[in-house]
Chain A
Amino acid sequence: MRLSEEERGILAGNLGTEGTRMALEIVVQAARLLGADSLVPVEGAHIDGCLYHGPSGTLFAERLQAAGARVAVPATTNVGALNLLKPDQSRLRGEARKMAYRLMVAHEKMGCRPSWTCAPYQAGARPRLGQQVAWGESNAVAFCNSVLGARTNRYGDFLDIACAITGRAPHYGLHVGSNRFADLVLDVSGLPDAIQASDVFAAVLGAFAGVAAGARICAVTGWRVAPDEDDLKAFCAAAAASGAVGLIHVVGVTPEAPDLDSALGGVPPRDVVPVTTALLEQAARRLSRATGPGVDAVALGSPHFSEAECDTLLELARGRAFKVPVYVCLGRHTLERLRAADKDRQLEDLGVEFVVDTCVVVTPILPGQRGTLMTNSAKFAHYAKGNTGYMPAFGSLADCVASAQRGHVVQSGALWG
């Protein structure tokens, strides 16, 4: 491992705080096991380690913080386990709630910007094309690499904060330009416009792409109906939940893929998969595990809902109230904008319950431990059963609205015949 004089000084304890030494030791050891031979300076970080999984994570963050660790670069925080504006919303109680809160506080004390969102790229954290950063949270990593063209690996909890404290990351993988080319092509050009224009297309294609790609980098060609940023958000989140996807090029859309040749680095692909309607229907069916017709709750906003998505929700509802709770998970920055336009009240009047700083699959908010959860998020659908006990039913945002208004699962549109 090639380390600078400064890095050697920090590791020897001659330079910086004990917290910095601990963090650098993690970065260097991680670099070794990843096969990196040096570290790369990073200019920003997104920290996934604020979500409570048990006492161990809190004890580690507090050890770092007490040892003087502070972030050296701007760092946003991912969701925690508590809505800090409404702490009783999560059923975490007693010791667990205290520890979950202490974990969030420890990150603030280390100098992180308390954004508490899994969509930091919609909260102002938008690194430039080619910029080196260290991001955690699988959907954010995929978005950062693919849509923004900034460079990060899929950093897990602890390594992300260690990179933020040291301002360095292991120099390997997606930090290196020559490792950012696709070798797998998913060709969606044969899909009819009706499918491509469907509201669920991005999420279902993402869910399919994650399984097809695994940890490989793929390039999607033939996406004719230009996806907007919320489509790309849904696409990246779905791919990163069902696969180990860190970067996925959309030819003609994402910045490193103006054409297929650029996405492939001028090398012929190892595999080309023509994506058929049947394959997508299969992927859509995998996202729906509920068997009965009833709906007990609707969950929206994984990744966190944008203002535009809230507007669409409001339009689709046409003032007709929901029969079951509709949880809208979003960042505080978005809720503040809704509030300024009085849209928060209109949504609440319909039966929306806002969840900020966290979401319904990472902390116990949904009532009870079984039921059917309708969602338009492939990521919610992927994790619902394991994390909440609820069986997911997947559909478009319009389907979610109709399901909430009627109290039973409505699935319409191209992918359900």
Chain B
Amino acid sequence: MTWQAEVLCDGTATGEVLCLEAPISFWGGISAESARVTLAGHPQHNQSVAGKILFVPQLVGSSSSSAVLLELIYKGRAPRALVLSSRDAILPVGVLVARQMGWGGLPVLLLANPPVKTGELVAIREGGLLLRGGA
């Protein structure tokens, strides 16, 4: 199965899916040190987003979230890709800055109601094509 997502920041990635099951703010919700979800009461509390294809249902809260994402990229603890359900002005800017600083980056895609589950293997091709099974 494949899906076409809208590209916010282009790139490729393969990895295991982690679906966040509640809205999150990266600042105050995910540790810039450990990459773990720190928000009290969040369904994915204490899970690490590092190296995951991270599906985010809704971004809320802090405008510092771009800084947390930049720091995760700088430290090599970022997700391999972000798939957002709604357009966001904050998070992708962390990726733009990382690329400008020469620290690499990660694909950021926009896809409403993504049909994937935590633990599945997924591949992302340039141009926003998502493939289940990582093929």
Contact = CB atoms under 8 A, between A and B. Distances in A.
B9 A33 contact: yes
Given A63-B101, A155-B63, A29 B96 contact: yes
B5 interface: no
Contacts, number: 142
B55 interface: no
B92 A33 contact: yes
Contact of A51 (B67, B87, B97): B67
Interface of B: 8-9, 23, 25, 27-29, 32-33, 38-41, 58-68, 70-71, 73-75, 86-87, 89-94, 96-98, 100-101, 103, 108
Contacts of A383: 28
Nearest to B62: A138
B93 A59 contact: no
Interface bin, chain A = 35 or more
B63 A160 contact: yes
B100 A57 contact: no
A386 interface: yes
Contact of A56 (B28, B74, B89): B74
A53 B32 contact: yes
Given A30-B96, A34-B87, A214-B58, 20 more contacts: A48-B64, A49-B64, A56-B67, A56-B75, A56-B98, A56-B101, A56-B103, A59-B101, A136-B63, A138-B63, A157-B64, A158-B67, A158-B93, A170-B89, A241-B25, A241-B62, A242-B60, A289-B41, A382-B61, A386-B39
A107 to B, nearest CB: 13
Given A59-B101, A214-B23, A54 B63 contact: no
A387 B29 CA distance: 8
Contact of B93 (A159, A240, A361): A159
A170 B29 CA distance: 27
A6 to B, nearest CB: 21
A26 B32 contact: no
Given A30-B96, A154-B90, A156-B93, A244 B101 contact: no
A34 B89 contact: yes
A110 to B, nearest CB: 15
Contacts of B101: 56, 59-60, 63
A386 B40 contact: yes
A55 B101 CA distance: 12
A141 B63 contact: yes
B97 A60 contact: yes
Contacts of A48: 63-64
Nearest to A34: B89
Interface string A129-159: 0000000111001000000000001111111
Contacts of B98: 56
A25 interface: yes
A156 B40 contact: no
19 contacts: A25-B100, A49-B67, A55-B74, A56-B101, A59-B74, A60-B70, A60-B101, A141-B63, A154-B89, A156-B65, A156-B94, A157-B66, A214-B23, A241-B25, A242-B60, A244-B23, A244-B61, A383-B28, A387-B38
Contacts of A55: 71, 74
Contacts of B38: 385-387
